[in-house]
Amino acid sequence: MSKKIYTRDGLMTFDQATLDSAGAFLIGELERLDQTLHQPLVTVTWHRDIDIRTDVTIGDELSSFTNSNFAATGGNSPTGKSWISKNATSVPGMQLDIGKTANPLNLWGQELAYSIPELVSAMQLGRPIDSQKLEAIRLKWNMDIDNQVYLGDTDLGVYGLCNSPNVTASNVVNGAASSPLWANKTAQEILTDIRSLEIATWTAAAFAVAPRQILVPAAKYPLLLQPMTILQGTTPVAPGGSIADYIARNSLCMEQNGVPLEIHPVKWLTGAGAGGTDRMVAYTRAYDRVRFPMTTLLQTPLETAGLFKRTTLYSRIGVTEFVYPETVRYADGI
């Protein structure tokens, strides 16, 4: 709680907490104050990297989906094709097994509160405290969702896009410098690492889905912006463009899906791999492959209690759903 402090000459002052509560501070006569609100330096990328499941509501406590498995007996042999004769009296049937996966939808909330004198003082200063606090709450909401999408939550025991135990992880191989780190690898060796991850993901998905996105640690992404060089025999040749450009145009994704491979930096991948190593993620951003259930940010009616006005902003935030975990794969040690 703020307290008043008196000086020896009888003038009353206020401590810093009191002044900052309304954003009031001394401005010199010859000082030109920039009224722009400069928020903390924060970046969130969850909008870019995952599709949102919007059918959930604020009243739901779980989000779930099903996966089906088929089993069929052959005709002449149990593992063969379903041949039958025209005089057959017994025809093999299809067996179906449906499994359900459920994840919690947790309630998120922040209270927006301010006193009427605070509001009037802030408006008089040209810095409305209500809108500033609202922007701060929206920023916190986005930051929490960003972390939840990629890493889940250790307190709740849930996982995200970059650390799910249901996704297979493997280590990249050493390069010519006897190191798996991209900082010690050539452009051709980095290309090999990404192409190997693409092929492994495509193979695990029964060759039905080739990954469309690659996520790499933000600190390693600049290495992909170096000029691309490839060896023709023993001679290095520069085909033009960066490593990322060359990989995007000459990828399995381009061959199978007809679109360039997307490579994006993600801050949460630094140290996300086994043993604290940096991790790379290959996946397909599609609603029926991997998605994130959540509701929009809602707000209760503004209430007045004495000199204070209060409202609560709230939302349901779920857990990253891997509908087909086979379409996602990790590579560690880069």
Tens of pLDDT, residues 260-290: 999 999 999 999 999 999 999 999 999 999 9
**Domain assignment of residue 157, yes or no:** no
Residue 170, both tokens: 């493997």
Question: Is-contact 282 328, C-beta < 8 A?
Answer: yes
106 φ/ψ angles, rounded to the nearest 5 degrees: -90, 145
pLDDT tens, position by position, 218-232: 999 999 999 888 767
Residue 251, in any domain of the structure? yes
What's the DSSP call for residue 167? S
Does 7 map to a domain?
no
In this structure, what are the phi and psi dihedrals at residue 143, rounded to the nearest 5 degrees? Answer: -65, -40
d(CA 249, CA 246): 5
Residue 102 lies in a domain: no
How far, in Å, CA of 258 to CA of 85, rounded? 43
Indicate which CATH number applies to the domain containing 235: 3.30.2320.10
Report angle CA 220, 289, 224 to the nearest 5 degrees: 15
Residue 208, both tokens: 């039905």
Q: Report the run of H or E that residue 170 belongs to, with start and end.
A: strand 168-171
Please list the alpha-helical segments (H only) found in the chain.
Answer: 16-21, 46-49, 116-125, 129-151, 187-204, 243-249, 252-257
Range of the domain at 248: 168-289+323-332
Q: Taking CA 167 as the corner, what is the angle to CA 163 and CA 172, rounded to the nearest 5 degrees?
A: 80
The answer as to whether 304 is a domain residue is no
Question: For all residues of the chain together, what is the average pLDDT?
Answer: 86
Tokens at 178, concatenated: 């006897």
Give me the sign of the Cα torsion angle 10, 11, 12, 17. Answer: negative
CA distance 111 to 106: 17
* Domain-located, residue 106: no
Provide the whole-model pTM. 0.84
Residue 252 CB neighbour total at 10 angstroms: 19
Worst-scoring range by mean pLDDT, 35-44, 136-145, 158-167? 35-44
Q: Is residue 244 part of a domain?
A: yes
Bigger pLDDT: 281 vs 26: 281
Q: How many domains does the chain have?
A: 1
User: What does the pLDDT average to over 79-108?
Assistant: 83
Would you state the structure tokens that stand for residue 12, as one six-digit string?
């009353």
User: pLDDT tens digits for 238-258?
Assistant: 777 899 999 999 999 999 999
* DSSP strand pairing (106-115 vs 308-317): antiparallel
Asked if 328 contacts 322 with a C-beta cutoff of 8 angstroms, the reply is: yes
**What Å distances lie between residue 313 and 137, 295, 310, CA to CA?**
8, 12, 10
Who's near 65: CB < 8 A, 6+ residues apart?
Answer: 100, 101, 321, 323
Does any domain span residue 247? yes
pLDDT at 22: 52
